[in-house]
A = this chain, B = another copy of it.
Amino acid sequence: MDRQLEAAGFATGEGGRKDLAQRLSEMLDPQIVLTGEGMHDYCRDWHGDVQSDAIAVLRPRSTDEVSAVMRAAAALGLDVVPQGGRTGLVLGGVPDQPARQVVLSLERMTSIRQIDAEDFSAVVEAGVVLEAFKEAVAEAGLFFPLALGAQGSCQIGGNVSTNAGGVNVLRYGMTRELVLGLEVVLPDGTVFEGLSQLRKDNRGIDLKQLFIGAEGTLGVITAVSVKLLPRPEHVATALLALSSLPDVMTLYRRARQQCCDLMSAFEFLPPLAFQLAQEGIPGLQIPIDTSHPAYALVEISGSGLVDIDDLMARFLEGAMEDGLVIDGVVAQSRQQAQNLWLIREGMNEGQARRGKHLRTDVSVPLSKLADFVAEAEAAIARDMPGCVSVSYGHVGDGNVHLNVMPDTSLGADSIDPQIKQAKKIVNTVLDGYKGSISAEHGIGRLKKPDFEARLPEAQRQLLLAIRRGIDPDGRMNPGCQLDPR
């Protein structure tokens, strides 16, 4: 690639980058080309762990401008790193080769092209912030179920490109299951017009599936058509205390059967969650005795004629009679429900305040979840006695965030090695359960080595065939997921 740049008459050092940025400003509308200090935030990850650089940040305002950007990048032989709201947790949108990469930010493509209440669908551009979209949909009397901690910042294009998960996957699926169609600009600037409001369309190989979760390695998603749902008018939220994580799993299976498809969230929390939440959000009220061994945060929701409060009451009555739930609180107002969810969010904030730590996002079969957590936490306690494990996550998806906070008494220099060691321990246990190293966060650059190390050769060849077929020059986010060259 550097040879290609040199052949095109560019040096590839600092001067070369300036020349290339200048050339981009000449080829494109200069208003979409950002260079210098302004690029700082676009080259940094969400947690601030990584600060990189790029030739330029390109901020097109329309699909045509994205196409022009891709043609210009192709002409100059530059790599393109597509970027959404920069809330990703695996460095998928952070450049790693400043001398030959441009960042393509979709943040200016912010039009909600249409919301169709009769069709239960909408068409929205990639740069629209998830929360803003959800609010617009709610104003139309409908509901878009994707729900993430980062929803105030993350963008729809990034959600689709990373196949984002969140707390409602249990009922509504990953982002993939909410997508009806895509508009994608391909590496050579061609526009793949795949937007659709059809709910059922079975014309052979479904191309949109390729781009969902590809993290910008095959093209640039510029707009998305999505499914909408009736707004859940009734929501019942409960925080429950149980005797053990296996009991939480039993409760989940019982809820699945008794509450049918009306359960929209089922999270598990350790007792430490409450302390972390209060560290993260000082003054946060905890409406339950925090000394029990395990907790579940359960939400049931629905619209229309189903009595959701009654359903929750009868479900809990049975579970308490049988001794499965030993304590619990049901939110009596929207405010109280929000407060319960704040515990879940505050726990993340609390962990962040304790400093750098191992964050994982793994999944195992449902029947193995409790065993996996017990085994991995025991391994950490045995081999790294000063560290603190905290496991929580989306029970119904078999998705655990088993995080490990290092032993700070060992000094600042030991933090990174401790994180590395803890990851190795967790992943070794995980491999024994045939689990996934990424349940919802994607691969990006951060998980690429662990992903490649576990990738069977047949899969690797298939992935390479697809990437080479669609992006023959390997210029789409090449450091992400797998090296295409």
List residues of chain A with CB under 8 Å of any chain B CB: 116, 118-121, 162-163, 165, 169, 171, 173-174, 176-177, 186, 190-194, 196-207, 209-210, 212-215, 217-218, 229-230, 232, 253, 256-262, 302-306, 311, 314-315, 363-367, 394, 396-399, 434-443, 451, 456, 458-459, 461-463, 465-466, 468-470, 481-482
Q: Which residues of B contact A217 (CB under 8 A)?
A: 204-205
Chain B minimum-CB-distance residue to A164: B202
In the complex, 7 of the A-B residue pairs with CB atoms within 8 angstroms, ordered by the A residue number, are A186-B458, A192-B462, A198-B434, A199-B396, A203-B436, A205-B210, A257-B303
When the two chains form their complex, are residues B202 and A456 in contact, meaning their CB atoms are under 8 A apart? no
Chain B minimum-CB-distance residue to A212: B206
Chain B minimum-CB-distance residue to A254: B304
When the two chains form their complex, are residues A202 and B458 in contact, meaning their CB atoms are under 8 A apart? no
Copies in the complex: 2
- Would you give the shortest CB distance from A452 to chain B, in whole angstroms? 11
Q: Which residues of B contact A366 (CB under 8 A)?
A: 118-120, 199
Interface centre among A174, A202, A366, A438 (most CB of B within 10 A): A202
Chain B minimum-CB-distance residue to A441: B202
Q: Whole-angstrom distance between the alpha carbons of A102 and B171 in the complex? A: 43
Q: Which residues of B contact A482 (CB under 8 A)?
A: 204
Q: Whole-angstrom distance between the alpha carbons of A394 and B199 in the complex? A: 11
- Would you give the shortest CB distance from A64 to chain B, in whole angstroms? 15
Partner of A397 from B199, B304, B481 at Cβ < 8 Å: B199
When the two chains form their complex, are residues A206 and B213 in contact, meaning their CB atoms are under 8 A apart? yes
Partner of A213 from B204, B314, B438 at Cβ < 8 Å: B204
When the two chains form their complex, are residues A456 and B193 in contact, meaning their CB atoms are under 8 A apart? yes
Q: Whole-angstrom distance between the alpha carbons of A130 and B210 in the complex? A: 28
12 A-B pairs besides A198-B439, A200-B363, A261-B261 with CB distance below 8 A are: A118-B367, A119-B365, A165-B200, A165-B202, A198-B434, A200-B439, A200-B440, A203-B436, A203-B437, A230-B257, A259-B306, A260-B306
With A201-B439, A451-B203, A463-B207 already in contact, the answer to whether A253 and B305 are too (CB < 8 A) is no
When the two chains form their complex, are residues B398 and A304 in contact, meaning their CB atoms are under 8 A apart? no
Q: Whole-angstrom distance between the alpha carbons of A36 and B325 in the complex? A: 66
Chain B minimum-CB-distance residue to A256: B230
Q: Whole-angstrom distance between the alpha carbons of A466 and B464 in the complex? A: 11
Q: Whole-angstrom distance between the alpha carbons of A253 and B303 in the complex? A: 12
With A261-B261, A262-B261, A470-B462 already in contact, the answer to whether A201 and B363 are too (CB < 8 A) is yes
Q: Whole-angstrom distance between the alpha carbons of A461 and B441 in the complex? A: 30
When the two chains form their complex, are residues A204 and B215 in contact, meaning their CB atoms are under 8 A apart? yes
- Would you give the shortest CB distance from A167 to chain B, in whole angstroms? 12
Q: Which residues of B contact A202 (CB under 8 A)?
A: 162-163, 165, 174, 213, 436, 438-442
Chain B minimum-CB-distance residue to A193: B456
Interface centre among A173, A205, A435, A463 (most CB of B within 10 A): A205
Interface centre among A169, A192, A253, A469 (most CB of B within 10 A): A469
Q: Whole-angstrom distance between the alpha carbons of A302 and B465 in the complex? A: 44
Interface centre among A200, A440, A469 (most CB of B within 10 A): A200
When the two chains form their complex, are residues B200 and A169 in contact, meaning their CB atoms are under 8 A apart? yes
Partner of A305 from B118, B204, B314 at Cβ < 8 Å: B314
Q: Whole-angstrom distance between the alpha carbons of A367 and B120 in the complex? A: 9
When the two chains form their complex, are residues B191 and A458 in contact, meaning their CB atoms are under 8 A apart? yes
Q: Whole-angstrom distance between the alpha carbons of A442 and B202 in the complex? A: 5
Q: Which residues of B contact A396 (CB under 8 A)?
A: 199
Q: Whole-angstrom distance between the alpha carbons of A306 and B300 in the complex? A: 12
Q: Whole-angstrom distance between the alpha carbons of A412 and B465 in the complex? A: 50
Q: Whole-angstrom distance between the alpha carbons of A148 and B203 in the complex? A: 18
Q: Whole-angstrom distance between the alpha carbons of A469 and B218 in the complex? A: 14
When the two chains form their complex, are residues B258 and A199 in contact, meaning their CB atoms are under 8 A apart? no
When the two chains form their complex, are residues A258 and B304 in contact, meaning their CB atoms are under 8 A apart? yes
Q: Which residues of B contact A437 (CB under 8 A)?
A: 203
Q: Which residues of B contact A315 (CB under 8 A)?
A: 305
- Would you give the shortest CB distance from A228 to chain B, in whole angstroms? 11
Chain B minimum-CB-distance residue to A192: B458
Q: Whole-angstrom distance between the alpha carbons of A437 and B304 in the complex? A: 34
Chain B minimum-CB-distance residue to A456: B193
Q: Which residues of B contact A198 (CB under 8 A)?
A: 363-365, 398, 434-436, 439
When the two chains form their complex, are residues B214 and A205 in contact, meaning their CB atoms are under 8 A apart? yes
Q: Whole-angstrom distance between the alpha carbons of A213 and B203 in the complex? A: 8
Q: Whole-angstrom distance between the alpha carbons of A202 and B398 in the complex? A: 13
When the two chains form their complex, are residues B459 and A192 in contact, meaning their CB atoms are under 8 A apart? yes
- Would you give the shortest CB distance from A114 to chain B, in whole angstroms? 11
